[in-house]
Amino acid sequence: MNDADSSPIPWRWLALWCALLLPLAILFPPIPIDETRYLTAAWEMYNSGQWLVPTVNGAWYSDKSPLLFWLIAGGWKILGVHTWVARVEALLVALGMLLTLRRLATRLGMDARGADTAMWLLAGCLGFTVFSTAIMFDLLLALTVLGALHALLDLDGAQWKRGIILLGVMIGLGILAKGPVMLLHIVAVAVLAPLWSDTARAHKARWYLALLAGLLVGVVIALCWLLPAAWYAGPSYWQPLVDKVTGRIAKSFAHSRPWWWYLPLVPVLLLPWLLTLRAPRAAWAGLWRGRFGRFVWCWWVLPFVAFCVISGKQIHYLLPLLPAWALAGAWLLQQSGARLRPMLFGLLALLAAMGMAALPWQVAKTFGYPAQPAIAALALIGLIIAVGVWHLWGRGARSLALSATALISAAMLAGALAYLPALDVRPEAAFVKRALAEHVAIAHIEWNNGLFGYTGRLHQPLPWIPHDQVQAWCRAHPGGILLTSDRSSEPRGAEPFRTWPYFLSGDHRIAAWRASQIPGAAAH
């Protein structure tokens, strides 16, 4: 038995890691437009009692699979409707990723110290910590990917039945979490298993039959939801779903970017370890040899190349690859001459402290609301971390990971508090809810991405109209109100009667316009 099999889980340190992120889970508002949209989908599911097909603004929402919405709505059933419920669920998934990675490192031959190092490298990684409380799909996807890799190791250990069942369950849950992209993350390490698995080399036919069986189990699990959903909602739901899955591969409907877009962002995701981890050239050269190295290579290199080729790109799409990079870093740190050097991380913490100190005034100047000087006090955390890693905490992966988590948490909290009037759309949503309750004709110009559904706890969707129908709508509703959340949608030749700061709009505002004041809206 490997030493790490009986090594106790460091619960008190993991509890501290969670505690450092808990302020984000409790205090962060829903961030437009992704989090507000996903929360609206969960809210409409919770509010309507129809959990089969997600909706946003009352319309079928075919962009995403339903697992995240089910978890959020289920959490609300137990704890009440609060944003922190969804964020704490995300944090629990992130904790599950850390523990699953730790066990995966053990099964790949690392000793107890190496497995813990891999876990802490992931815990302190900027790309992981930033999304550890985010209401998004990628954490769930990453956890299912790690589970599928455990299933492949079961097959490698000739535990065929267990491996097939676990692989199928993880594929099914991964598809329910974020769709067929789940398969992209595991196909290379599964199909190229003869490169790293003696069992796969010796029993190729049985290996590939097991993969096929696991895939079929996963597809059946996904179809148990998809077929009833497609039957219930009809072509208006499933046709856009098919088009989006196929269209995003070659020509993205959204987030289309050049092939090299990820390359300068990967070093940012890997902070602070890119600044601190030092290993001799021989260690780097040996990283790709042997069973461990070939497994990690298959895990992340080919999927990363595939993500570069696919036109639709977002930084969080790479989240399931971060555990592979953490494993590689842990392996490097086990080699002779490898070490962690904290000096550059200390400088980064110092720069972050300076940024936090200036942030309240810079943001207030941009959006035109009063600065909140008290937020600058969070800069002291960055200063303490800068001094601390130089003198006390700079030699171990755990201490640096906790320091990095504290720094990231403080910086994100400072940003959220400084931007809060422009991030939090609850005042605008309350305005919408009041207008709907008073039966005032109100509509949003262009699609609003569910911006006000959850934040306003709306029990009916906010109507929206295309920009070219504004004047006709105004003539039909002379006492009505139009809302805009983007500069390109604003009517020209009139001034809004009410505005709110909003960070995503080109004019930094959400605006309300009286229909009677829109040029050309007067009845003929």
Whether residues 322 and 180 share a domain: the answer is yes
- Please answer whether residues 422 and 367 qualify as being in contact, where contact means their C-beta atoms are separated by less than 8 angstroms: yes
Q: How far apart are the first and last CA of the chain?
A: 86
300 CB burial (10 A radius; 0-12, 13-18, 19+) = buried
Report how many domains make up the chain.
Answer: 3
In a domain, 54, yes or no: no
Out of 40-44, 366-370, 477-481, least confident range: 366-370
In a domain, 45, yes or no: no
Q: How confident is the model at residue 247 (pLDDT cuts 50, 70, 90)?
A: low
Average pLDDT over residues 425-446: 95
Give dist(CA 5, CA 189) in Å, integer.
24
In a domain, 66, yes or no: no
CA dihedral (503, 64, 182, 323) positive or negative: positive
Whether residues 217 and 130 share a domain: the answer is yes
Distances (CA, A) of 237 to 52, 137, 218, 454: 12, 20, 22, 22
Supply the range of the domain harboring residue 413: 343-423
In a domain, 499, yes or no: yes
Give dist(CA 130, CA 331) in Å, integer.
24
Q: In sequence order, what are the residues at sequence separation of 6 or more whose Cβ sits closer than 8 angstroms to the Cβ of residue 159? A: none
Average pLDDT over residues 20-24: 96
- Predicted confidence (pLDDT) at residue 425 exceeds the cutoff of 90: yes
Number of Cβ within a 10 Å radius of residue 223: 14
Q: Which of 151-160, 280-289, 444-453 has the highest mean pLDDT?
A: 151-160
Give dist(CA 185, CA 207) in Å, integer.
18
Q: How confident is the model at residue 506 (pLDDT cuts 50, 70, 90)?
A: low
Whether residues 228 and 217 share a domain: the answer is yes
In a domain, 72, yes or no: no
- Predicted confidence (pLDDT) at residue 430 exceeds the cutoff of 60: yes
What percentage of the chain exceeds 70 in pLDDT?
95
Whether residues 308 and 360 share a domain: the answer is no
Average pLDDT over residues 73-81: 97
Whether residues 391 and 480 share a domain: the answer is no
Whether residues 330 and 368 share a domain: the answer is no
Would you state the pLDDT for residue 248? 52
Given the structure tokens 């098919």, which residue do they identify? 242
Task: Report long-range pairs for 248-255 (Cβ below 8 Å, ≥24 apart).
Answer: 248/310, 248/311, 248/312, 249/310, 249/311, 250/311, 251/311, 252/310, 252/311, 252/312, 252/313, 253/312, 254/312, 255/312, 255/313, 255/314
What percentage of the chain exceeds 90 in pLDDT?
80
Answer with the one of 302, 321, 340 that is the final residue of a domain.
340
The angle subtended at Cα 332 by Cα 346 and Cα 126, nearest 5°, is 40
What is 8-30 written as a DSSP string? Answer: PP-HHHHHHHHHHHHHHHHHPPP
Q: What is the pLDDT of residues 284-322, one digit of tens each?
A: 988 888 899 999 999 999 899 999 998 888 999 999 999
Whether residues 199 and 311 share a domain: the answer is yes
- Predicted confidence (pLDDT) at residue 250 exceeds the cutoff of 70: no
Would you state the pLDDT for residue 237? 85
Whether residues 298 and 431 share a domain: the answer is no
Closest CA to 270 of 321, 313, 308: 321
Whether residues 365 and 440 share a domain: the answer is no
Tokens of 7: 């090594």
Q: What is the pLDDT of residues 455-468, one digit of tens each?
A: 999 999 999 999 88
Average pLDDT over residues 371-388: 92
Residue ranges of E strands in 404-463: 442-445
Would you state the pLDDT for residue 311? 84
Q: How confident is the model at residue 3 (pLDDT cuts 50, 70, 90)?
A: very low
Answer with the one of 401, 423, 445 that is the final residue of a domain.
423
Answer with the one of 288, 313, 340 that is the final residue of a domain.
340
Global pTM reads 0.93
Give dist(CA 142, CA 159) in Å, integer.
23
Number of Cβ within a 10 Å radius of residue 497: 11
Helices (H) and strands (E) in the chain — how many of each? 22, 9
In a domain, 245, yes or no: yes
- Please answer whether residues 298 and 195 qualify as being in contact, where contact means their C-beta atoms are separated by less than 8 angstroms: yes
Across all residues in the chain, what is the average pLDDT?
92
In a domain, 252, yes or no: yes
- Predicted confidence (pLDDT) at residue 436 exceeds the cutoff of 80: yes
- Predicted confidence (pLDDT) at residue 4 exceeds the cutoff of 70: no
- Please answer whether residues 122 and 129 qualify as being in contact, where contact means their C-beta atoms are separated by less than 8 angstroms: no
Whether residues 332 and 362 share a domain: the answer is no
- Omega within 30 of 0 (cis) for the link into 33: yes
Out of 105-119, 133-147, 163-177, 507-521, least confident range: 507-521
Average pLDDT over residues 26-34: 92
Q: Which of residues 310 and 163 earns the better pLDDT score? A: 163
Would you state the pLDDT for residue 523? 45
Whether residues 417 and 449 share a domain: the answer is no
Residue 300 backbone phi and psi in degrees, to 5: -115, -30
Whether residues 317 and 284 share a domain: the answer is yes
Q: In sequence order, what are the residues at sequence separation of 6 or more whose Cβ sits closer than 8 angstroms to the Cβ of residue 491? A: 445, 470, 482, 484, 513, 518, 519
Tokens of 104: 């995966």
* CATH at 500: 3.40.190
- Predicted confidence (pLDDT) at residue 246 exceeds the cutoff of 80: no
In a domain, 27, yes or no: no
Q: How confident is the model at residue 517 (pLDDT cuts 50, 70, 90)?
A: confident
Give dist(CA 212, CA 358) in Å, integer.
56
Tokens of 225: 């939801």
Average pLDDT over residues 110-114: 94
